[in-house]
Amino acid sequence: MAQIAQVLVDVPTMQTNDPYSYAIPDQLADQLQPGMRVTVPFGHRVVSGVVVGFTTSTQYEGQLKSIRAVLDLAPVLNPELQQLADWLAQTTYAFRITCIQTMLPNLLKASVERQIVPTNELTATERAVYFPDGAARDFDTSKLDTDTVAGLLKLRRAGKVTVTYQVKDKASVKTTPGITTSLAPQQLEDLKQSVATRAPKQAALLTYLQALPDHPVPQAKVAHAAGVSSAVIRGAETKGWLKRTPLEVYRDPFQQPVKPTTPLRLNAEQQAAVDAITTAVTQRQAKNFLVEGVTGSGKTEVYLQSIAVALQQGRSALMLVPEIALTPQMTNRVKARFGQRVAVLHSGLSKGEQYDEWRRIDRGEATVVVGARSAVFAPIQHLGLIIMDEEHESSYKQDENPRYHARDVALWRGKYHDCPVVLGSATPSLETRARAAKGLYTRLVLAHRINDRPLPTVHIIDMRAELKQHQGDDDFSAPLLTAIQDRLDRHEQVVLMLNRRGFSSFMMCRDCGFVLKCPNCDISLTYHVNPRVMKCHYCGHEEAVPTVCPNCRSRKIRYYGTGTQKVETALQKLLPTARILRMDVDSTRRKGAHEKLLNQFGQHDADILLGTQMIAKGLDFPNVTLVGVLNADTALGLPDFRASERTFQLLTQVSGRAGRAEKPGEVYIQTFNPDHYAIQLARTQDYERFFVTEMHMRHQGNYPPYYYAIQLTASHEDESVAAKAMYQILAAVKQGLSDQAIILGPTPKAIARVKRKYYYQVVIKYKHEPHLKAVLDQIRQGSQRAPRGLAVAIDAEPMNFM
């Protein structure tokens, strides 16, 4: 019986979330496999799709259409990744095709192009206006002006033009000319004798050709080895001495070769960690580890030696790092150990380079993969080990559909491959640490720094007292300024961090540090300009904007936030001789700018590096002996239950930047909340106590990890449409879920209007909701037929509650 292909079409809707059936033309029958991309007729156009299986019968009553073309020679999704895509769609409430697109490199995303073709029905004037060059033209409504689009649509309705569709596959393989020769060595020798005296270059080429291997050799290599120019080679080609054939090459993102390194000697803790991971790797256990190592405890060396074990076992390894940590220094460290076997996947590569790295992995040529979030989908086979460094980083969660967390995907793949997953962090997320406490992960603690380097001394500066004493600059306390001046005198370097996160305005008293909070949620209230009120983004509570501090009656209660530029100017005024380097979103927008700034600082072209969060991660300059945090509180004030956790993580990390090598480090943290546990415990780098304290807070507030959370967001240009949609969703949620579920909202988002759209949200906290999936699917169905421009998003375990 004839086979029917099941195809997921590239149309992300609820109705097309299940595969459609297509007949398979005879000439495609023996090449078609699940996991291949195809083009199919769909309605009155052609779209791309992915074959997910074959059947012999179908429910569909109508006449089946046939697959148009196959886009791939081999499947782009292996069976594991096909299964993963389905699981991803289930758990993130995203469309299956959207998940598949996310898993594939950008170049494999086929695009559909429309063309508009004139017919004989057109009048001469119409032809002159719309088809000046007489031929068909591209019909991209976003690129043409509205009048032209309207005109062309009108002509189509009149049947005077037709529209054609073309699916364009962007996947392109780069080639270079490859040299082969069909002449025998003796023939070449004869030729050489005949030209030897007058054409030494040709003779040299002929000598080289005599020793040419059977397979094609890149022309550049031939030219270099024989010492001839490409003109000589082209000349030889016309004489029939050699043939040039296209040779597939990889766009090589590794420019310069890296000096190889050998494994470093491990201390007892590191060795114990490597041993535990080794056992799991060699026994092929899907066992998960949490490597909890203070900054400077040598986690990376543990990762590298564990990867080496997997490779020895003939398996491959995946190492995930946050995008921001994916610097050449970082990747070079891996390449130095594993050389050619390493593939790097990240957004800094061109589309072509990404595709080539992906193919090297797919073909098993690269067995160590280093990359950011989306690298978790790399088509690696025989996985022996997955490592996720800085596991607590929120960038592992994608904030568009599918809203997946790379950690969950890593754990899924570990299970699939029976291989261990190692999560590493100095400050693990509460979720992860709690799971370790429950025994789901094995904890491997690295409590000692390499060579027992001391931790930096951390000073907490009470900015309330500071501001009382010296009027003038808000941003710099006297002790911090003195410390900076001291480093300048000693020709040492300083890192200053300005916490820009949550520039969103909350009210804080400059005299006592009091932050206005919601009486119901214990979350800071957010200042709204229009209407002028304080609002809680969790429960919707509203109150008037205070003019005096409810705590100390001071009038100095105002909203809080400052910018790097302003701080730079102020600092330059205070310290005219200091050379300051500013690093923020603005100064690093250009590609490579980030790198360049860090290199400058590394060469001591500047004394002070002033930046936002981005300087907290992984940079390591031995000459930095002072780290200052200008405003530790901004993140604390955010209306998010993870505010304390983020603050603790950030302060702990940035403190780790001070004092490397022989020079001891010092850290100054300026804060209006010197007694807050997140700040106090960051001072002593006491993660365990922070974990216990914060878990208690989460328990009190019914927050994760004690509860699961789902965030539903509706957005629309018209605020009332978004709000109305959210109230309808709320009704559906309330009706479908048990009264055990805690439903917060609807509330406007902290930043109520982004890109001309208003956002409203509802958060569901729950422990056990068997109907949840059904309720959310019902909401998804409902949002199909929503007013134009309304977007409803479902985010399981959201990272941003604002």
Residues in the annotated binding site for Zn(2+)? 509, 512, 518, 521, 536, 539, 549, 552
Per-residue mark of binding to DNA, 95-134 (x: CB under 7 A) = -----------------x-x--------------------
Q: Can the peptide bond before residue 402 be classed as cis, meaning omega within 30 degrees of 0?
A: yes
Site for DNA contains 62 (CB under 7 A): yes
Binding site as annotated, residues? 509, 512, 518, 521, 536, 539, 549, 552
Q: Quick one: which of 8, 16, 523, 639 contacts DNA (CB under 7 A)?
A: 16
Q: How many C-beta atoms lie closer than 10 Å to residue 59's C-beta?
A: 7
8 A C-beta contact, residue 359 and residue 334: no
Site for DNA contains 168 (CB under 7 A): no
532 to 551, contacts with DNA by CB under 7 A?
Answer: none
Q: 648: Cβ–Cβ under 8 A, 6 or more apart, which residues?
A: 427, 678, 681, 682, 690, 694
Q: Quick one: which of 12, 218, 328, 479 contacts DNA (CB under 7 A)?
A: 12
Site for DNA contains 596 (CB under 7 A): no
In angstroms, the CA 138 to CA 589 distance is: 33
Instruction: Give me 197's structure tokens.
Output: 């005296």
Q: Quick one: which of 143, 265, 589, 785 contacts DNA (CB under 7 A)?
A: 785
8 A C-beta contact, residue 480 and residue 461: yes
Q: Which stretch binds DNA (CB under 7 A): 61-69, 216-224, 416-424, 521-529?
A: 61-69
Helices (H), 25-92: 26-29, 79-92
Q: Greatest CA separation found in the chain?
A: 103
Q: Quick one: which of 2, 26, 27, 43 contacts DNA (CB under 7 A)?
A: 43
Strand ranges across the sheet with 111-118: 137-138, 111-118, 161-168
Quote the least distance from Cβ 90 to DNA, whole Å. 20
Q: 750: Cβ–Cβ under 8 A, 6 or more apart, which residues?
A: 504, 526, 537, 638, 639, 802
Q: Quick one: which of 198, 215, 259, 788 contacts DNA (CB under 7 A)?
A: 788
Count of residues interacting with DNA (CB under 7 A): 28
Residue number with CB closer to DNA (113 or 586): 113
Quote the least distance from Cβ 697 to DNA, whole Å. 40
Q: Quick one: which of 28, 65, 512, 778 contacts DNA (CB under 7 A)?
A: 65
Residue number with CB closer to DNA (62 or 132): 62
Strand 742-754 relative to strand 757-766, pairing: antiparallel
Quote the least distance from Cβ 25 to DNA, whole Å. 12
Q: Which stretch binds DNA (CB under 7 A): 54-62, 312-320, 352-360, 566-574?
A: 54-62
Q: Which stretch binds DNA (CB under 7 A): 14-22, 602-610, 690-698, 751-759?
A: 14-22
Q: DSSP code of 762?
A: E
Instruction: Give me 503's structure tokens.
Output: 């520039």
Site for DNA contains 767 (CB under 7 A): no
User: What are the Cα distances from residue 714, in Å, to 526, 530, 743?
Assistant: 20, 20, 16
Q: Which stretch binds DNA (CB under 7 A): 35-43, 70-78, 292-300, 720-728?
A: 35-43
In angstroms, the CA 728 to CA 762 distance is: 11
Roughly what angle, to the nearest 10 degrees, separates helices 643-655 and 687-701?
170
Site for DNA contains 15 (CB under 7 A): yes
8 A C-beta contact, residue 188 and residue 209: yes
In angstroms, the CA 693 to CA 308 distance is: 38
Q: How far apart are the first and last CA of the chain?
A: 56
Residue number with CB closer to DNA (60 or 83): 60
Residue number with CB closer to DNA (114 or 689): 114
Q: DSSP code of 669?
A: E
Quote the least distance from Cβ 425 to DNA, whole Å. 37
Site for DNA contains 13 (CB under 7 A): yes
8 A C-beta contact, residue 641 and residue 432: no
Q: Which stretch binds DNA (CB under 7 A): 56-64, 324-332, 553-561, 774-782?
A: 56-64
Q: Which residue's entry shows tokens 């062309």?
A: 152
Site for DNA contains 21 (CB under 7 A): yes
Q: Which stretch binds DNA (CB under 7 A): 17-25, 437-445, 532-540, 707-715?
A: 17-25
Q: Which stretch binds DNA (CB under 7 A): 41-49, 363-371, 474-482, 571-579?
A: 41-49
In angstroms, the CA 458 to CA 593 distance is: 31
In sequence order, the β-bridge partners of residue 542 are: 535
Q: Quick one: which of 22, 303, 538, 641 contacts DNA (CB under 7 A)?
A: 22
Residue number with CB closer to DNA (8 or 426): 8
Q: Quick one: which of 123, 129, 154, 781 contacts DNA (CB under 7 A)?
A: 154
Site for DNA contains 163 (CB under 7 A): yes
Helical (H) or strand (E) element with 360: helix 351-362
User: What are the Cα distances from residue 502, in Å, to 38, 72, 124, 156, 635?
Assistant: 45, 46, 61, 51, 6
Residue number with CB closer to DNA (501 or 780): 780
Q: Give the footprint of DNA on this chain (CB under 7 A).
A: 11-13, 15-16, 20-23, 40-45, 58, 60, 62, 64-65, 112, 114, 150, 154, 163, 785, 787-788
